[in-house]
Amino acid sequence: MTKRERSLEELYRDDPERADALLYNRKTGTSRRGFLGGAGVAAMGAMVGGAIPFSQNMPAGFVPAAFAQTTPPAAPEKKGPQLLDFPGKDKGLVVLGDRPLVAETPEALLDDDTTPTSKFFIRHNGNPPAAAAAPDAWKLTIDGEVNKPLEISLGDLKKNYKPQTLRMVLECGGNGRGFFSPTARGNQWTNGGAGCAEWTGVSLADVLKTAGVKPSGIYTANYGADTHLSGDPKQVTLSRGVRIAKAMEPQTLLVWAMNGKPLENVHGGPLRLITPGWAGSVSHKWITKITLRDKEHDGPGMTGTNYRLTINPMVPGAKEDPKNFRILESMPVRSIITAPANGTKLAAGTRELKLRGASWAGDLTVKQVEVSVDFGQTWVRANLNPPKNKFDWQRWTLSVKVPSDGYYEVWSKATDSNGRAQPHVAANWNPQGYGSNPFHRIAVLIG
């Protein structure tokens, strides 16, 4: 029996260092750091389907976007992405897990100014409750460090408080996790654990003011109606919270409508929290109780390495030191290319790429978005739209000239209002894979 040598495409997926060793020109003495040799350029061009006009700028050790795995399979035994089959949901969503249900939205499906509910990602932590038969009868309790504990129905929330509608980004705390190497624990999100919907509800601050938060009330603790995957009714699925300052921001809402329609059960209906700019796990679905605490909340999802980033860098894969972690709060800056889609083929003779995308930056705003089509040698600033309201994403557009037919990689990089930009690769590795926000890359073939 003979041993089959893996193709270069397989090697770039599984062992980029070996692929480099085969492709890079050893005669120059600059393998791993030098440029592709002539034979290597031809070999890679054959794999990606065309000439590579800016091949001299390609960094060593990088996997071309044409065969980088950007939509990971739901399980190791699956050969490709598993697409979602769920009532009312777009068939293009990719399932990352089925117990609990987790599905992300490919970047090209996020091309709307307002993300349609059908295209919005799904992230469950436990077993969702049955859809409420009488939504307005749903009860929310506010207790703990308050002067007047209260229980209020959804119907009374609608009648007694002023509603508002805001378009705001909701993003999973693990968005981008799939870009870490070595692999971090959890669902291997790419960029699709985010969406920007129109949320209708009332300010949580107004309800907390009715209850009268005591000076000792410094942290919230959220509880929902979903049940633990084990089936044990005594186990809490998830209970996270935020500092009181974040809870009192006017954009932190108790919402009952999404994109002008009653909030669907799959997205936490009939009532959920939206805590914009922070990890989606603090935007609790099926919310039933908010307890004010006199200390940092320590419920499930608040301790150990759960929803925490390293303070000082750690060796990837090494044993973690619990003292070296802080709570994940504001999400990092991110930009995505929403058109064209990765893998788009354009007609021969096309000399202009018309690009669209989105960008956001947690609690901050986006200062600029830049695009490169020559592997990062030069960058062009995109036209960046202002947000509709605070925590809205910022759409961007750009037309870029290209010199010839061939294979192009389009990279997008956003910089936030504090001057912090997306890195080339996922940085600050941590066991649970939070904070990963490298450039977005797509492949385009002309001719």
| Residue-wise pLDDT tens digits, 399-436 | 999 999 999 999 999 999 999 999 999 999 999 999 99
pLDDT at 59: 79
Q: Sort residue 81 into left (φ over 0), alpha (ψ -120 to 50) or beta.
A: beta
In 3D space, the residue among 375, 370, 343 whose CA is nearest the CA of residue 357 turns out to be: 370
Q: Give the tens place of pLDDT for each residue, 159-177.
A: 999 999 999 999 999 999 9
Span 317-335, mean pLDDT? 96
- pTM higher than 0.85, yes or no? yes
CATH number belonging to the domain at 334-446, selected among 2.60.40.10, 3.40.640.10, 2.60.40.650, 3.50.50.60: 2.60.40.650
Q: Give the tens place of pLDDT for each residue, 43-75.
A: 788 888 889 999 898 877 667 887 765 555 555
* Enclosing H/E stretch for 337: strand 334-339
From residue 101, alpha-carbon distances to 96, 226, 237, 305, 404 in Å are 8, 13, 14, 22, 44
Cβ atoms < 10 Å from Cβ of 305:
19
Q: Which CATH class is domain 82-327?
A: alpha beta
Percent of the chain with pLDDT over 70: 88
Domain ranges of the chain: 8-67, 82-327, 334-446
Higher pLDDT, 180 or 68: 180
Band (41; pLDDT cuts 50, 70, 90): confident
CB 239 within 8 A of CB 233: no
Tokens encoding 255: 């919402």
